[in-house]
């Protein structure tokens, strides 16, 4: 896995691109926690689609350095937001997997402006992506990534958190069942008549 997670390419008049690192300082290092990794995916995709500041829920889950604020009870909301930007909705429109291009540039991702030469290179037909919450969003930039980057920031953390959420709810259900069992036993004890023995001594 590359230690560099993101880069941006800026178009020039001769269609070349200058690439610079966005997460190059120690302060900006990405945690290996699955919450942080999935939130970084949301952050990256929302930047590509210019969605910053449009939805408080989205902005919350874009703050990947604040991943510790995501508790067991809010993981489901994080997964819902991530599902809005799942790769299947974006591939071929604003998201493209090209290991070779990223390798040559020396980064795991490249953010590039949508220009005619890239439209031809990637055979881009769509000018919009359709998202469940935001509707039709115009594509002005594209994200080229390594396959390993998608696995690291979406596939693996999404699966890990989804399994953890199911375990959390199962444990909650088991706790509730145990409480109900104890309460039922207490009621049964209260309803059971006690026998009084009266003994007379001659």
Tokens found for residue 138 = 């115009």
pTM of the model: 0.72
- pLDDT score, position 153: 95
Mean pLDDT is lowest, of 31-35, 45-49, 127-131, for 127-131
Cβ contact 65:36 at 8 Å? yes
- How far, CA to CA in Å, does 202 sit from each of 108, 117, 167, 196? 98, 114, 66, 19
Determine what percent of the chain is predicted with pLDDT higher than 70.
71
Residue with tokens 């500041």: 53
Tokens found for residue 8 = 């941006």
- pLDDT score, position 26: 37
Pairing of strands 109-113, 95-97: unpaired
Per-residue pLDDT at 20 exceeds 60 = no
Kindly state the average pLDDT of the residues 114-137.
86
Torsion sign across C-alpha atoms 143, 147, 150, 152: negative
What are the tens digits of pLDDT across the range 132-181?
Answer: 888 899 999 999 999 999 999 999 999 999 998 876 555 556 566 666 66
Kindly state the average pLDDT of the residues 121-127.
84
- pLDDT score, position 2: 39
What are the tens digits of pLDDT across the range 77-87?
Answer: 999 999 999 99
- pLDDT score, position 114: 87
- pLDDT score, position 192: 63
**Number of C-beta neighbours around residue 78 at 10 A:** 23
Q: Which helix (H) or strand (E) holds 136?
A: strand 135-138
């Amino acid at each position: 896995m590359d230690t560099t997670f993101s880069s941006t390419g800026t178009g020039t008049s001769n269609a070349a691109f200058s690439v610079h690192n966005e997460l190059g300082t120690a302060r900006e290092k990405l945690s290996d926690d699955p919450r942080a990794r999935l939130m970084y995916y949301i952050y990256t995709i929302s930047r590509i689609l210019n969605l910053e500041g449009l939805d408080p829920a989205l902005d919350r889950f874009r703050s990947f350095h604040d991943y510790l604020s995501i508790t067991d009870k809010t993981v489901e909301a994080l997964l819902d937001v991530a599902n809005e930007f799942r790769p299947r909705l974006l591939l071929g429109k604003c998201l493209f997997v090209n290991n070779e291009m990223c390798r040559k540039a020396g980064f795991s991702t490249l953010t590039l402006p949508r220009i005619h030469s890239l439209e031809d290179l990637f055979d881009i037909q769509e000018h919009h992506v359709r998202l469940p919450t935001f509707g039709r969003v115009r594509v002005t930039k594209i994200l080229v990534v390594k396959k390993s980057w998608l696995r690291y920031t979406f596939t693996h953390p999404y699966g890990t958190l989804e399994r953890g959420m199911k375990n959390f709810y199962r444990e909650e259900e088991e706790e509730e069942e145990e409480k109900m069992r104890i309460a039922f036993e207490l009621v049964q004890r209260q309803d059971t008549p006690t026998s009084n023995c009266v003994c007379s001594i001659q």
